[in-house]
Amino acid sequence: MGKNKKALSASDDVEDINISPLIDMVFILLIFFIVTTVFVEEPGVDVIKPVAYNAKDLPKNCILIGVTESDNVFYGGEEVGLNGIRVKVRRMIKENRDYPVIIQADVGATNGTIARLIDECKLAEVPAGNIHVSMEKLNN
């Protein structure tokens, strides 16, 4: 804009750079990011996921819970433990009953912990079919 004004007053031969394609592109990028953004709190732990052939795509809008190899339970970047997870999940489920729970478990996590975690989710009133374990998909 400053450029335009200068060109007007000085009346010289400086060619104006046409910025409308740039703005169009920025708008398109903006719309892309608005549409693809999901506000999901990541557990913030790196896990090695179990592998399976039958893994299916899971919904993007979800509650993510991380379980490390040493059976520590993480939610939203902090360790909450098995006892703290029910409150967190219940709060999310109150907002939207259809929120699925995805457990990002390390291959080395014990089944006892996972089963207790699933029980906690069920007690937080997550429908039984909405609790998933995250996996790495193998292609046969």
> Is position 13 an interface residue for other proteins (rule: CB under 8 A)?
no
Report residue 13: phi and psi, to 5°.
-95, 15
- Give the C-alpha distances (Å, rounded to integers) separating 138 from 42, 51, 56, 62: 24, 6, 11, 23
CA separation for the pair 91, 5 (Å, rounded): 55
CA separation for the pair 49, 2 (Å, rounded): 55
CA separation for the pair 124, 87 (Å, rounded): 7
Residue among 9, 10, 36, 139 that touches other proteins (CB under 8 A): 36
Residue among 9, 37, 96, 139 that touches other proteins (CB under 8 A): 37
Residue among 6, 51, 70, 81 that touches other proteins (CB under 8 A): 51
> Is position 38 an interface residue for other proteins (rule: CB under 8 A)?
yes
Q: Which of 135, 117, 116, 139 is nearest to 57 (CA)?
A: 135
* Residue 73 structure tokens: 């339970």
Nearest 5°: the CA angle 71, 48, 66 is 45
> Is position 124 an interface residue for other proteins (rule: CB under 8 A)?
no
Q: Applying CB under 8 A, which part among 51-59, 72-80, 86-94 lies near other proteins?
A: 51-59
Judged by CB under 8 A, the chain residues 54 through 113 that form the site for other proteins are 54-58, 60, 62, 64, 67, 102, 104-112
CB of 129 to other proteins, least distance (A): 6
Q: Which residues bind other proteins (CB under 8 A)?
A: 1, 4, 8, 16, 20, 23, 26-27, 29-30, 33-34, 36-40, 42, 50-58, 60, 62, 64, 67, 102, 104-112, 114-115, 118-119, 122-123, 128-137
